[in-house]
Amino acid sequence: MKEETTTKLSAGFQCACESPQPPPHRFSMPVYLAAGIAGLAVWWLVYERLEMVAAFLTYGLLGLTPSGHLGEAVFFFIYETPKVLMLLTLVVFGVGVIRSFFTPEKTRAILSGKREFIGNILAALLGVVTPFCSCSAVPLFIGFVSAGVPLGVTFSFLISAPMVNEIALGLLYGLLGWKIALLYAGTGFFVAIFAGWIIGRLKLENHIEDWVREIRANAVDLEDVKMTWHDRLIYAKDAVKDIVGRVWIYVLAGIAVGAGIHGYVPQEFMASIMGKGNWWSVPLAVVIGVPMYSNAAGIVPVVEALLGKGAALGTVLAFMMAVIALSLPEMVILRKVLKMRLLLIFVGVVSSGIMMVGYLFNAVVELPFFVN
């Protein structure tokens, strides 16, 4: 806004004043670039030393023994907390810059009138980069459907947006390596595309609540605000403040649970419950995960600890997807626009997709290949 008024003013005074003042708080591109590189270097220097400092604090200062239960749990907590928060900050900032190029309105315009299969793929991809908060799922749903986005395509977006998100990917990458992050992204897209496509095939349009179909409100189009690089960086900074400010408590809780598992759960225990040998572990993981509400930031440290204790990769991936993609509060919100039958089909199709992913990976994947 400030930017805009300045431009308007300078435009008005242009004839009177030959040397227009540059707008305040703006630097040239190289300055941002240099600051960015310096910032990254400092970030990396601190990040590299976290393990050393955590070891010093746990085993040196507190005098805990490295192989003891308490020692392992405390070390996990002291090491992972700053590590996860630092990673989260970096990733949210980076994605914030990318997201400043997208809005739900643009996404809707891209998706409206797209053919089904292509539309499902596009929707799943756009779900990752479009700024979206789960509380606006309902208005967004109505907006998509009334703009002529096919129902199945809308669902692909609604599944992919929370599931394959920047927080999940960034943390998986940082804590478990790029292979698992890529695997998660790939299978997450698969579930979103597949589930959306199935729902589209089932022709369930008449199971949307009637009042939604009657709405033919024309979407309000706010004029496309031109963003400068300065605006984009501010946008990303605000995203960090907002997201990290909101999720740090989940992160701490997740790491605390992870630390408990890490220090106290015996190695064989998880392998026996969540190991490959049990066919029922995948559905159980999904059934437990669906009503649970946590965000990616809280669940990834738990996932890391579970994998470390011998849980099978497919089972753990299924658990994580179920927790992030489906949640009870979201169902309650969506019930306002979906009739019960469609809501149940939605949950059923997504859960089946997640279970397929779980079984597939338990069947074909050797864990050591994926965990660096």
Q: Which residues bind another protein (CB under 8 A)?
A: 1-2, 5, 103-105, 108, 131, 133, 135-136, 138-140, 142-144, 211-212, 215, 217-220, 222, 246, 333, 336-337
C-beta closer to another protein: residue 209 or 257: 209
Q: How far apart are CA 49 and CA 248, in angstroms?
A: 21
Smallest distance from another protein to CB 24, Å = 13
Q: Helices 151-163 and 137-146: crossing angle, nearest 10°?
A: 150
Tokens of 274: 């969540």
C-beta closer to another protein: residue 107 or 362: 107
Question: Rounded to 5 degrees, what are φ and ψ at 19?
Answer: -115, 90
Smallest distance from another protein to CB 217, Å = 4
Question: What is the DSSP annotation of 215-269?
Answer: --PPPP--------HHHHHHHHHHHHHHHHHHHHHHHHHHHHHHHHHHHHS-HHH
C-beta closer to another protein: residue 175 or 338: 338
Tokens of 310: 């011998």
Smallest distance from another protein to CB 284, Å = 31
Q: Are 272 and 93 within 8 A, CB to CB?
A: no
Smallest distance from another protein to CB 21, Å = 19
C-beta closer to another protein: residue 55 or 234: 234
Smallest distance from another protein to CB 343, Å = 15
Report the candidate in 360, 342, 359, 358 with the shortest Cα–Cα distance to residue 198. 342
C-beta closer to another protein: residue 34 or 133: 133
| Torsion 82-296-40-231 (CA) sign | negative
Smallest distance from another protein to CB 242, Å = 8
Report the candidate in 222, 370, 247 with the shortest Cα–Cα distance to residue 304. 370
C-beta closer to another protein: residue 121 or 337: 337
